[in-house]
Amino acid sequence: MSKTEEDFGEPGSPPRGPGGDGSAATDEELAALRSIFDQFDTDGGGAISTAEMEAVMEKLGRDPADAAELLRDVDPDRSGTITFDEFVGLVNQARDAPPGEAADPKVLEFLRILDEYRLKCESEGNYLEAGRAAGQLETLRKQEEKRQHKALKARQLAERHDVQIAHNMQYAEFNEAWDKYMEEYDRMAQMYIQQMSERHAVKLREFQEKLHEELTKRPPKFSRELLDWRQRQLMLAKQKKYAEAQKIKRIADEMERRERAKLDDERLTIFQQRESKFRSQQQSELAALLKRIDGRRKEHLKQRALDSKRLLQRNRNVQAVLESKQSVEAGRKKADIKAALAPPRTRSSGAHDLGTTSGSSGRRRKKASA
C-alpha cells in the first residue's frame, strides 16, 4: 500500500491515528476531573444543576444567565443537569473530536470556565487543586493542538490527493484524445492507400489491354529471305509448276512459322518491359504516398510527446505551488493554533494586579481610619 493510501485509510472512513480512539481517561485524569466536578457540584448531589452553575458563574464574575444556556447546549439528555459521566464525556468530546471538525463553541466555553476555576483556586491559595486543573487543561490543550495539526495535515493531504487525481484524469483524457486522433489518422491513411491500390489496378488493366491490342494489330515484319521464297512460290504456281511450287511453299511455311514465333517472343518481351515500367511508376507513386503518411505520422507522435511533456511539467508546477502554499499555510496555522490555545496569561496577571490593587486600597482605607 502506498503512503497516500495509508494516510487516507479505507474508502469512506476518516484517517485514524495510533492508539485507538483515545476516549478512555486514566485514573489520574478521572481524579482531576472529579475534583473539578465537585467544585461545581456544590450540594454534593452528583450532578451540576443550573442553580449551581449560576453560582459558579457569579463567583467567576460572569453573567449567571449564561449558565442555563451552557448547560442546555452541553446536556446530552436534556435533563437540566449534567452528571459526572456526562461531564467526562464532554471533556472527551473536546479531546477526541475527529480531524476536520472544530470543537463546539459551547465546549470551548466550558473549558474556559474550567480555566477560570483554575485561576480562582490560584487566587484563593488552593494551589494543589489549581495545579491539578492546570495539568488537565494543559493536557487537553496539547491534545486539541495535536488534533488540529492532524486535521490540517489530513486536509492538505486530501487537497494534494485530489489535485493528483485531477491531473491523472487530465492525462488519461489527453492520451485518450491522442489515441483516437492517431487511430483516425491511421484509418484515413489506410483508406488512401487502398484507394490508390484500386486505382492502380484499374489503370494497369487498361494499360495491358491497350498494349496487347497495339502489339496484336501491328503487322508482322518478315525477313527478306522469306519474302523471296514466297515470291518464287507464286511465280512457280503461275507457271503451273505446281510440284516445285508446293516444295517451295513448305520451305516458306516453315521459315514463316519460325519467324512468327520469334516475333511473338519479341512482342511478349516488349509487353513485359512496358508493363514493368508502368508498374514501377505506380510503385513509386505508392511509395511516395507511404513516405508522406509515415512522415506525417512521425510529426504527430513528436507533437504528442512534446505536449505530454509540457502537460506533465505544468502539473508538476501546480503540485509544487500547492505544496509551497500549504507549507506557508501550515506554518501560519500552527502559530494561530498555538496562540488560540495558549493559556490566558493576561487574565492571571490581571487578577494578580487586581489583588494588588485591592490590597493597596485596603491599606489606604486602614490608614485613613487610623
Backbone torsions φ then ψ of 82, nearest 5 degrees: -130, 125
Cell numbers placing 311: 502537460
| Residue bearing cell 509544487 | 320
Architecture (CATH level 2) of domain 22-167+332-349: Orthogonal Bundle (1.10)
- What does the pLDDT read at residue 347? 40
Question: Region 295-324: what's the mean pLDDT?
Answer: 96
* pLDDT at residue 10 is higher than 60: no
- What does the pLDDT read at residue 5? 39
Over the chain, what is the mean pLDDT? 77
| 67 three-state secondary structure | helix
Instruction: Report the C-alpha gap between 104 and 112 in whole angstroms.
Output: 13
- More reliable by pLDDT, 157 or 79: 157
* pLDDT at residue 225 is higher than 70: yes
SS3 for 143-160 is HHHHHHHHHHHHHHHHHH
pLDDT classification of 71: cutoffs 50, 70, 90: low
Distance of CA 57 to the CA centre of its chain: 53
pLDDT tens-digit series, residues 170-206: 999 999 999 999 999 999 999 999 999 999 999 999 9
* pLDDT at residue 22 is higher than 60: no
Backbone torsions φ then ψ of 68, nearest 5 degrees: -60, -45
pTM here is 0.55
Instruction: Look at 199-208, 225-234, 331-340 and tell me which has the smallest mean pLDDT.
Output: 331-340
> To the nearest whole percent, how much of the chain has pLDDT over 90?
34
Instruction: Report the C-alpha gap between 115 and 257 in whole angstroms.
Output: 132
Cell numbers placing 39: 467544585
| 274 three-state secondary structure | helix
Question: Region 51-55: what's the mean pLDDT?
Answer: 67
Query: Are 197 and 289 spatial neighbours (Cβ–Cβ below 8 Å)?
Result: no
Question: Region 266-279: what's the mean pLDDT?
Answer: 92
Q: Under 8 Å CB-to-CB from 323, ≥6 apart: which residues? A: 160
In which element (H, E) is residue 139 found?
helix 127-217
What is the Cα Rg of the chain in Å?
Answer: 53
